[in-house]
Amino acid sequence: MNYMEEKTKAGEYLRLALNYITKHNLPATPVNYAVWYEYVSGKNIKLKKAIDHSLKNAGPINNVKVEGLYQKYVVDGDRIVISNLLTKISLMLKDISNHVSETKEDLAENGKSLNELAVKINDAKNFNEIRCIVDQMLAETKGLLQSGKRLQTRMRISSEDLKQLQQELEKSQQEAQTDALTGLINRRGLEKKLEIERIRAKQNDLPFSIIMVDIDYFKRVNDTFGHLVGDSLLRGIAQILKTHLRQNDIAARYGGEEFLIILPETGIKGATTVAKKIQKTLATKEWKLRKSGETMGKITVSMGISLYRMNEPEASLIKRADDALFIAKNKGRDQIVIQKEQEEF
């Protein structure tokens, strides 16, 4: 578990996590801290859904339950998926091996019978004996063909199973890199995309830009309207980000109410244009509660932009964008700041 929030935000998450630990009369152990920290920060969507389900159904949340959540959603999430896939592969390989062995035994038996008939044919004395041998040869040959057809059918089925398994593997990999709430890629997927862009930048000598986006006063939305409305807002912001991106641009949920946009082959000027479009869209959008129609007020975001420097580590690139975002927040929010120049728009 890698926690990369700035100190103020991390402190807030810690306070909320400890509130939940106290509320449910749990000891402040590392496991309880990890589970509730990921819950309040919104980092782990599957964990959040599981806990919300328990809270909604008034189920007891004790040490045993938290430990189970920790093993399933914090530690073993990917391992369970991989284990299930490996089990399927193992069973499939065993099945194919059995089919081949059975066919091999059938072929060996048919081959032995044909060899015996080859000896008998030399001793045949009349047409009846010859005809009998030929009939047996036809039967054995038919057996060979049937064994081959059975193996072909079984292998065809196995091939279809393998294709399905491959699709399951691809789906599992995609899910592991996708944020369940917003549909954007998550931090794990982001790391892979950034590495690809770093390689492309080096090969083509074309740097890229990133934009760190943070929803202003998001905690206020959660406190005023509830976490479900907050989740809906996150999905809405994610959709707005996607509408302003090109086909090759990438939007990711970085954690909590933070997003990160990768703009391949784009300089500061292009990145600033994208950021301004997002800012303009939010300035004219009216946010209302779906059921009551009650207005939520104006929703704004703060943005920090950084341009990739050739051979720069990923962490350094993100830190510069995060530093610029921090400046935007301190200057009153709803602003765009470039790092390192710190030019405000």
Choose the final residue of a domain: 176, 205, 240: 176
Residue 334 and residue 195 in one domain: yes
Residue for token pair 């969507």: 45
Taking only the tens place, the pLDDT of each residue in 183-215 is 898 888 888 889 889 988 988 888 899 999 999
105 in active site: no
Choose the final residue of a domain: 152, 176, 200: 176
| 345 residues of the chain, pLDDT tens digit each | 444 455 566 667 777 888 888 888 887 776 777 788 888 887 677 788 888 888 887 667 887 788 778 767 775 555 555 556 656 666 665 666 666 667 677 667 766 776 776 777 677 666 666 667 667 766 766 776 777 777 667 666 666 666 666 666 666 666 677 888 898 988 888 888 898 899 889 888 888 999 999 999 998 898 888 888 888 999 999 999 999 998 899 999 988 899 999 999 999 999 999 999 999 999 999 898 887 788 888 999 999 999 999 888 888 899 999 999 999 999 999 999 998 654 444
Residue 203 and residue 335 in one domain: yes
Residue 216 and residue 319 in one domain: yes
| Spatial separation of the C-alpha atoms in residues 168 and 173, rounded to whole Å | 9
54 three-class SS: helix
Catalytic residue among 102, 257, 294, 314: 257
| Spatial separation of the C-alpha atoms in residues 114 and 138, rounded to whole Å | 10
With respect to residue 51, please indicate whether it lies within any of the assigned structural domains. Answer: yes
Percentage of the chain beyond pLDDT 90 is 26
Domain that includes residue 11, residue range: 7-75
45 three-class SS: helix
Domain count, the chain: 3
Catalogue the E-assigned strands of the chain.
209-215, 250-255, 258-263, 287-288, 295-297, 301-307, 336-339
Residue 125 and residue 222 in one domain: no
Residue 317 and residue 275 in one domain: yes
Residue 200 and residue 92 in one domain: no
pLDDT value for 1: 47
Q: In whole angstroms, what separates CA 342 from the centre of its chain?
A: 34
Residue 95 and residue 196 in one domain: no
| Distances 23 to 16, 20, 26, 60 between C-alpha atoms, Å | 10, 5, 8, 12
Share in percent of the chain as helix, strand, coil (round to 5): 65, 10, 25
Residue 297 and residue 237 in one domain: yes
- Indicate the burial class of 231 (C-beta count within 10 angstroms; 0-12, 13-18, 19 or more): middle
| Distances 160 to 93, 115, 156, 167 between C-alpha atoms, Å | 13, 37, 6, 11
| Spatial separation of the C-alpha atoms in residues 12 and 31, rounded to whole Å | 18
Q: Which amino acid is at 48?
A: K
| Spatial separation of the C-alpha atoms in residues 331 and 141, rounded to whole Å | 87
Residue 148 sits in a domain whose CATH number is: 1.10.287
With respect to residue 139, please indicate whether it lies within any of the assigned structural domains. Answer: yes
